[in-house]
Amino acid sequence: MAGCSGSAPSVAPNAEPAKNPTLVERLEARAEARAEAKAEAEAAAAAKAKAATPDPAPQVESIALPVWNAPEVSLQPSELAEARKAADKALAEDRLYRDAEDAIPLYLAILALQPQDRAAQRGLDKARQRLRAQATALMAQPENQRQALAQAAEIAGVAVALAPEGKAEQALQQRIAVARRLLALNRAGEQALRQHQFGEDGGGAQAAFREVLATDPLNSRARQGLAAVESGLIRRAEYAAAMESDFDAAARWLDKATTIRGEAVTLKDARARIENIRTAQLDALREGGLRDLVSSKGLKDAQLKLAQAERIALPGDRTVVLLRERIELVTHYGSFRPGQVFSDALADGSRGPQMVVVPYGSFQMGAAEGEIGSSDAERPQHQVRFERGFAMSITEVTVADFRRFVEAAKARPRATRRGHSIVYDERSGNFIRRSGVDWQSDYNGAKAAPNSPVMHVSVRDAEAYATWLSEQTGRYYRLPSESEFEYALRAGSQGRYPWGRSMTPPENSGNFTGSLDVSPSGRHWNNAFIGYGDGFWGTAPVAMFRANAWGLHDVSGNVSEWVADCWHASYRRAPADGAAWYNPGCRQRVIRGGNWANAPEQTRAAWRQSQDSDVTSARIGFRLVRGI
């Protein structure tokens, strides 16, 4: 056997057989010693395995086959027959190569003494076949692959030592080398999995498993490994969604998971689970935010929940839209809604004036440069913004409303104390002072109907009514600021007139001076809206005409109205937040809104006029606002 990796056993021709144990005795002794050594090794391995940590990831590189050296067999020519019997018995028991008493070492020893021994050669050929069969079986073994392949490599090393040029042995050697490399790659991938190195951006477990499948597309272990990588990425996505509320990161992890097996069923299920997590979190944030809005935690906590919901929600999510709308409502309207109509209960069980909630927003207040009929007192035009809505009485305060105040508070309004007020005189067509006129009187001094707007009241009378109503309802009523009044009068429009740019009011839009209006004695207005008529020469009962876009009646007509502001000759340095521009002790106040006797230029949306705070007139009334 010179020249091969397995060396032939040495032979001692001068030995004295009679002084040595027989071959059978030597073989039996060696078998006993081998059994004892194997038992000790197995016990030591078992003890070590209990405390051993997982194997480190193997270095994936070419693994050389082990070199087999035949055990030394001392054989005398006289022992050939006995050696043949021992070799055949070992072959039958599949004891092939490990020890000197196994089949292959014995056959080699026999052939070393008798190279032409056909029986030994046939036995050796059978042993080689057994080696290939054993190695092939070990390669197919699904359990303990590492040990099985190591054993297969050892067996292949024996086979190659016996037949270095044998094609079957070379093929076996190649298959084992490939199998061991694939196993090492699988183990490296599994180790990376345990360390959560999925290789989503290259390398890691995914690279190892893909390299295996490039060689063996049906390798079940690598396929399972890739499935485990996919599962790991899905777990990361679900963790990001459930624990971190980071749904963008969850989507990225799922996108990486799709590179494993495409949009598999597991990915579709994971996306559904993550969307369920998102929905549950959004529902919880919405419900929590809504609870905050009606609890002591209030608006700030609800806004924090909204911010979190906006971070995790998909665009247009209805849950976020609902919570944002509710927060916006509370921010700008408290417990009310824009356009809501209500009235507060008074202490005696009756109801106060009907109010409507005016929406928050902004507008350009005043007249633009060059507006026909405007004055410098209406400029500069400036932006006013209301961060919160407010409630305004739908109509002007009526005679019936004011009567309850006078009688309950035993009030004596200014015209009553003074004994006169300014009325329209039908005979002369002028406004004159007439005795015996007060808040109970109509525009011409006659008794006013209960549903007529109260006239002949000073701004102090209006403020006294607001104070009384506040005491009765427990709510804060006041005169509107000038900017609140113009904002409500325009109701979202920005034209010259409250209804827009048309020179003629729309039909049924209000009580204005119209060319078609006729006084009881047949008078016509000298300066009026051409072609317009409303059926009233003086004041009309409240709410006789169509409300504006925000549900308010008679803001631009019927009677002009007191507002809370002191008179200033222009809007320079005027408040931009909707607050009244008031100087304590001021005598000159502002009236706003056209009236039944105003010229068309005085019906413009920006029109304003100064009046002494003691003035009472058939052309001036008021309405109130209430905070919400």
Does an H or E element contain 98, and which? Answer: none
Can you give the pLDDT at residue 523? 96
Long-range pairs for 581-589: beta carbons < 8 A, 24 or more residues apart: 581/481, 581/482, 586/613, 587/612, 587/613, 588/612, 588/613, 589/459, 589/562, 589/563, 589/565, 589/613
Residue 477: name the closest of 344, 581, 608, 359 by CA.
344
Q: What is the pLDDT of residue 381?
A: 97
Q: Are 271 and 254 contacting, i.e. CB atoms less than 8 angstroms apart?
A: yes
Nearest to 532 by CA among 559, 513, 548: 513
Q: For residue 18, count other CB atoms closer than 10 A to its CB.
A: 5
- Pairing of the two strands 588-592 and 390-393: unpaired
Give the separation between CA 532 and CA 511, rounded to whole angstroms.
10
- Going by their DSSP bridges, the two strands 620-621 and 560-566 should be labelled as parallel
Distance between CA atoms of residues 548 and 488, nearest Å: 9
554 Cβ contact list (under 8 Å, min separation 6) = 395, 396, 453, 510, 511, 540, 542, 543, 545
Question: Which pLDDT does position 296 carry in this prediction?
Answer: 73
What is the rounded distance in angstroms from the CA atom of residue 27 to the CA atom of residue 101?
A: 5
Q: Which residues in the chain come in under a pLDDT of 50?
A: 1-19, 37, 39-59
**DSSP bridge pairs for 619:** none
- The span from the CA of 65 to the CA of 171, in Å, is 13
Dihedral sign (CA 447, 449, 455, 460): positive
Phi-psi region of 234 (alpha: psi -120 to 50; beta: other; left: phi over 0): alpha
Give ∠ CA 285-288-292 in degrees, rounded to 5. 130
Tell me how long the chain is.
628
* Strand boundaries in 40-166, DSSP class E: none
Q: What is the pLDDT of residue 25?
A: 56
Q: Do 503 and 587 meet the contact criterion of CB atoms below 8 Å apart?
A: no
Q: Extract the tokens encoding 339.
A: 């356009």
Q: How far is CA 28 from the centre of its chain?
A: 79
Q: Is 93 exposed, middle or buried (0-12, 13-18, 19+ CB in 10 A)?
A: exposed
pLDDT, residue 126, reads 95
d(CA 396, CA 552): 9
Q: Which is nearest to 423 in space by CA: 399, 395, 400, 455?
A: 455
What kind of fold does domain 355-397+453-626 have according to CATH? paralog of FGE (formylglycine-generating enzyme) (3.90.1580)
What's the token pair of residue 440? 């109970």
DSSP H helical ranges for 474-610: 482-490
- Condensed to tens digits (0 to 9), the pLDDT of residues 136-172 reads 999 998 889 889 999 999 999 999 999 999 999 999 9
Number of H helices, E strands in the chain: 16, 13
CA distance 67 to 101: 20
Which residue do the tokens 């070590």 mark? Answer: 48
Say what the pLDDT of residue 213 is. Answer: 95
